[in-house]
Structure 1
Amino acid sequence: MIRLTKYSFLEPYTFEHAGVTIKNRVVIPPMTECMSFHDGTVTEDEIEYYRKHSGGAGMFITAVAYVNELGKGFEGELSIDDDKFIPGLTKLSSAIKKNGTKAVVQIFSAGRMSSTAILRGNQPVSASAVKAVRAGSEEPRPLTDAEIEQTIKDFGQAVRRAIEAGFDGAEIHGANTYLIQQFFSPHSNRRDDKWGGSVENRMNFPLAVIKECREIVEKYAKQPFILGYRISPEEIEKPGITFDQTLQFVDVLKDQPIDYLHVSMGDVWRKSLNDNTISESLNETIKKHLDGKVPLIVVGDVQTPADAAKATDAGFEMVGLGRQSLREPQWVQKVEHDDEGSIRYNISIDDLDELGIKKPFFDILMILSGPTGIPLSTSQNNNRDDANAALDHFLSGGE
């Protein structure tokens, strides 16, 4: 006899503004798989991967898709920058929407977290001409005011394509040091116009993107459509985004037309990286500042049902199941069927076809193998050098 295990994360959740109900509070967060074609077209391998990993969670957020040609951040990345990609994106959304799982596409511009090679000869762009603090980074050129306005429109058109492709929502990627965060960060934004300077001015670009995307939803969506936003709460750069600045931003975001806020961290319960006087987890403080106006997705090192329940029992509306969902695509179903003992927490190289994991995704997972990685039950060590660049994108895209 099948019975439901009574975990809080198995309860449905309704986004009040969007009017969309998800069947449970488990979310698969965006994790870069590098399986698109060189031009950003969806591949059959990619579609099969999503099909195999969907169906259990209430909501599944795709790997990030770039909104214009200068927004591409790495090879094998999904594109949503042209209408020609809509047929492939439609197949992708259909693959995700199995057993009632809601399909959300994440959209971004990489900004300075790209390279001339990836951009096929074009110089990376950002808020200002400041290099990222990482090996091999290039100095970007600052976007002109006209280019900023066009980029805002490009985000909106990406949302239109998501709607036409049958997605249930879109997540604006304002985290992990990519372009939107670059405008908010005092490290990458040294402008003295309306797009830079004070904390308030550095909010102008992300707020304009949200406004444009919401207007597109209101204009084109014929059925309820979710619009989310993702943040990283701190930067380690000096100067960088402090948690106090993030809380100022959250105080503004809670009154914006977004349906959820998604906090990108490697541990749901992480405290500050920069301020050891902060005794409360960052997510708990962010939730207090949201004041019940916007629901929160938390993510990071959630593996067991007890991990997920700890988050939703604490009042976080949704919990992300990232790397563990790669090991066990049937995680939610097994919990629902009171079959937790069969949940797999390690995978073998012989499981990869079953899991739909292809190269170069496999190479990324290889360098993540170990206690903080997938982990893989193999000591295979080849191809790690080729995956180093992709590792940053995998980590920043998911947990």
Structure 2
Amino acid sequence: MTKFDEQLKFKSGVTLRNRIVMSPMTTQQSFYNGTVTRDEIQYYANRASGLGAVITGAANVQDGGKGWPGELSIAHDDMIPELGALARAIQAKGAKAFVQIFHAGRMTNRATLSGEQTVSASAVAAPRPGAETPRAMTVDEIHATVVAFGEATRRAIQAGFDGVELHGANTYLIQQFFSQHSNRRTDDYGGDRQRRYRFIRELLDSVFAAVDKYADRPFLVGYRVSPEEFETPGIRFDDTLWLLAQLRETRLDYIHLSQNDYNRVARADDYQDQSILAYVHEALQGKLPLIGVGGVRTRQDVTNVLQNAEVVAVGQQLLFDPTWAVKLAQDADDAMLSVPFKEAVKFVPLNKPLHDFVAARY
């Protein structure tokens, strides 16, 4: 069985010193325009020690793709210097630096977008309280967004990052194009699975074109996916297995499964015999490494995930226990934070924007 302290070399040539990575998490620490702050740089640097890689929180590729206040942005060239400082701070601790790139689509609001209407594949509101109805993107806008993901990849390369992760999960725009709930289009970007996959395929083409043109070193491209939607109609586990069958034949370096419990079982009746993580691992057929995530707090959790994945992503535990990965490597398990996170909020020092966000959540 894979051990967490083993190296992993991806097909791109990027090599992790171990199999533990920091999961992308919202921190709301960027400036109003998405520029990286000193607090944000220090936050990631404090958690990079002992990790194979850090995946930053989502960075929007266009101003209209901003999902929330304090969100990181990679939409403009003048952001490259601060992005570079962030990448170097992570790398100085021995970890690879990956930036997650995304567009929020309908999962935002006019207030966040300075009065602009949200956009999505179709003019269908998300099934959540207070959701605004988006405007369906024109074909020209779709093409511009595809280009924007490529340009964001270029900026990541020029800033010195080791890779990008496409955020195709958590109901944001990439997922919205693949979902039958948010995509009701009747043109070439909507309809059956193959047509709803077109946006993803074009994004991958754009991103890899940027890698081929600008990268002068190994540069990784990963993809994050959510396995199921609760909406009707929506993405079912069969749809995700179909999507994975497409993605495993691409140049991607890994698939990152997004879920809050690595033991979670699918809602679909036909997939009850093992965890979603196990089914996804089988579906990839060894062609792409899988990053497993969801409630990892202990050494046993790491061992459990690595039974059905090549890499373990750790989120909340690192948020409240910044040196957790070092403790894992040094067999200092007794020093790991073990109290409920709602208790940890009361005594773990976090800067004010992040503390307020976390306190409201827990």
TM-score, length of structure 2 as denominator length: 0.96
Tell me the CA shift for residue 196 of structure 1: 0.5
User: Which blocks of at least 5 consecutive residues in structure 2 are unaligned?
Assistant: none
Question: Percent identity over the alignment?
Answer: 46
Separation (CA, whole Å) in 2 of partners of 1:114 and 1:183? 16
CA-to-aligned-CA distance 1:42-68 (integer Å, 9 cap, x gap)? 111111111111121101100100000
The answer to whether residue 185 in structure 2 is matched with residue 191 in structure 1 is yes
Structure 1 distance, partners of 2:200, 2:140, is 16
Instruction: Point out the more displaced range, 296-305 or 278-287.
Output: 278-287
| Code of the aligned partner of 2:326 | Q
CA contact (8 A) 1:67 1:109 kept: yes
Instruction: Tell me, in whole angstroms, the C-alpha distance in 2 between the residues paired with 1:337 and 1:124.
Output: 48
Separation in structure 2 between the aligned mates of residue 337 and residue 91 of structure 1, nearest angstrom: 29
* Residue of structure 2 in register with 1:322 after alignment: 315
Count of residues paired in the alignment: 358
CA contact (8 A) 1:211 1:257 kept: no
Q: Does residue 1:365 correspond to 2:358, yes or no? A: yes
Please report how far the alpha carbon of residue 98 of structure 1 lies from its aligned counterpart in structure 2 after TM superposition.
2.9
Amino acid at match of 2:252: I
In the TM superposition, residue 281 of structure 1 has moved relative to its aligned partner by 1.0
Instruction: Tell me whether 1:310 sits opposite 2:307 in the alignment.
Output: no
Q: C-alpha displacement at 1:100, in angstroms?
A: 1.5
Q: Are residue 12 (structure 1) and residue 4 (structure 2) matched?
A: no
Q: Which position in structure 1 is the counterpart of 2:251? A: 257
Counterpart AA for 2:71: E
Provide the rounded CA distance (Å) in 1 between the counterparts of 2:58 and 2:314.
17
Report the equivalent of 1:27. Answer: 21
Alignment partner for residue 77 of structure 1, among 46, 53, 71? Answer: 71
By how many angstroms is 1:207 displaced?
1.3
CA separation of 1:336 and 1:297: change in aligned 2, threshold 3 A: same
- The 2-side partners of 1:230 and 1:242 are apart by 16
Structure 1 contact 327–345 (Cα < 8 Å) conserved: no
Which residue in the other structure is 1:163 paired with? Answer: 157
The equivalent of 1:59 in structure 2 is 53
Whether 1:111 aligns to 2:99 is no
Deviations 1:206-236 (A, max 9, x none): 1110111011101100000010000001000
Cα distance between partner residues in 1 of 2:357 and 2:172: 20
Q: Output the CA distance in 1 between the equivalents of 2:46 and 2:116.
A: 37
1:20-49 deviations in Å (ceiling 9; x for gaps) = 110110010100000001110111111111
TM-score, with length taken from structure 1: 0.87
Aligned residue for 2:9, secondary structure, equals strand
Matching residue of 2:337: 344
Tell me how large the CA RMSD over aligned residues is.
1.4
Runs of 4+ deviating beyond 4 Å = none
Q: How does 1:1-399 map to 2 (within 5 A)?
A: 8-15=3-10, 17-275=11-269, 278-312=272-306, 314-346=307-339, 347=344, 349-352=346-349, 357-369=350-362
Q: Contact 1:236–1:273 (CA<8 Å) still a contact in 2?
A: no
Q: Distance in 1 between matches of 2:328 and 2:24?
A: 22
**SS in structure 2 at match of 1:170:** strand
Distance across 1 between alignment mates of 2:7 and 2:338: 25
Corresponding residue SS for 2:277: helix
Q: CA deviation at 1:359?
A: 2.3
Write the distance in 2 (CA, Å) between the matches of 1:63 and 1:147.
25
Aligned 8 A contact 1:265 1:300 in 2 = yes
Cα deviation, residue 117, structure 1: 1.1
Distance, in Å, in 1 between the alignment partners of 2:105 and 2:191 is 19
* Partner Cα distance (2:345, 2:202) in 1: 46
CA contact (8 A) 1:328 1:345 kept: no
Shift in Å, 1:275: 3.7
CA contact (8 A) 2:181 2:232 kept: yes
With over 3 angstroms needed to count, the CA separation of the structure-2 counterparts of 1:348 and 1:287, relative to structure 1, is closer
Conservation of the 8 A alpha-carbon contact between 1:54 and 1:96: yes
Q: CA deviation at 1:302?
A: 0.6
Deviation by residue 1:288-330 (Cα, 9 ceiling, x = unmatched): 1111111100100110011011111x14100111101112211
